[in-house]
Amino acid sequence: MLELQGVHTHYGLSHVLQGVTLRVNAGEVVGLFGRNGVGKTTVMKTIAGWVAPSAGQLQFDGQSIGGAASEVICRRGIGFVPEDRRIFPGLTVEENLVLGFMQTPGISRSERRRKLEHLYTQFPRLGERRTQMGTTLSGGEQQMLAMARVLAGQPRLLLIDEPTEGLAPMIVEEIFKLIDGLRRDGVPILLVEQNLHRALDLVDRFYALERGTVVLEGRGDQADDRAALVRQLSV
């Protein structure tokens, strides 16, 4: 569904991505691993249209998205859950979720209500707090809200950046269960996650980044590939 070929991205004079090549196939969960500062978040932002690539090809479902506006990429079916969650202040949980329906214009009020109730089934904590201000939720609940808001737009591909960073172990496990549920539903996911061993149990394939380029590719269910990844990240 998603393919990057030789993608370069700059922040001013800083050359962050230096020829990244990767793919996400239909129904796959693909991990993107690496130490801090190697370009993982920049890959996600480049795919989502938050940052424009300076060279290379990005294709989604056979169509070029390189350099397209973020709202265009979103409407084509790529949902991005950023590391900082970006919960809208002054809005309740439900009002934050309703904004997610902007990705699917023309949805009827009854269909929107049906989809909201389905999201509350997936994320029971949010159902209990639907009238609470989104920014007053705990960190883990805000992460759930960020994920649910993107899912409201029924994305065909999901980008999730560091979903468990700074969360309590109990909440970390809950987030991983949610991602596993999406995997079982067949939602393709590109996942950036520092909890390496837990993430490897979820992913079909993975890539490791170093200095803005892919240095290793492997499968999550292959012991040799997992060991190679641990060695790469320990260098």
Q: List pLDDT tens digits, range 74-133.
A: 989 999 999 988 999 999 999 999 988 887 767 788 888 899 999 999 999 999 999 999
CA R_g for the chain: 17
Mean pLDDT of 166-195: 92
Question: Looking at residue 166, what is its pLDDT?
Answer: 86
Question: Do the Cβ atoms of 155 and 184 come closer than 8 Å?
Answer: no
Closest CA relative to residue 166, chosen from 135, 125, 194, 133: 194
Position 63, amino acid: Q
- Taking phi over 0 as left and psi of -120 to 50 as alpha, with beta for the rest, 31 belongs to beta
Question: Taking a C-beta distance cutoff of 8 angstroms, is the pair 193, 164 a contact?
Answer: yes
Say which residue the tokens 């795919």 belong to: 47
pLDDT band at residue 38, thresholds of 50, 70 and 90? Answer: very high
- Secondary structure class of 94 (helix, strand, coil): helix
pTM of the model: 0.92
Gap between the Cα atoms of 218 and 225, Å rounded: 5
Higher pLDDT, 106 or 182: 182
pLDDT band at residue 195 using 50, 70 and 90 as cut-offs? very high
Mean pLDDT of 43-58: 97
Given this model, what pLDDT does residue 100 score? Answer: 87
The whole-number pLDDT of residue 102 equals 80
- Counting residues of the chain whose pLDDT is more than 90, the rounded percentage is 83
CA atoms within 13 A on the CB side of 11: 12
pLDDT of 225 above 90: yes
For residue 79, how far is the Cα from the chain centroid? 7
Q: Are 48 and 70 in contact (CB under 8 A)?
A: yes
Q: Considering only CA atoms, which of 16, 148, 160 is closest in space to residue 82?
A: 160
Token pair in block for residue 44 = 């996600």
Q: pLDDT band for position 212 (50/70/90)?
A: very high
Q: How big is the CA angle at 168 (ends 47 and 130), to the nearest 5 degrees?
A: 70
Taking the CB of residue 168, how many other CB atoms lie within 10 A of it?
Answer: 12
3.40.640.10, 3.40.50.720, 3.40.50.300, 3.30.390.50: CATH of 2-234: 3.40.50.300
Tokens of 7: 């993608």
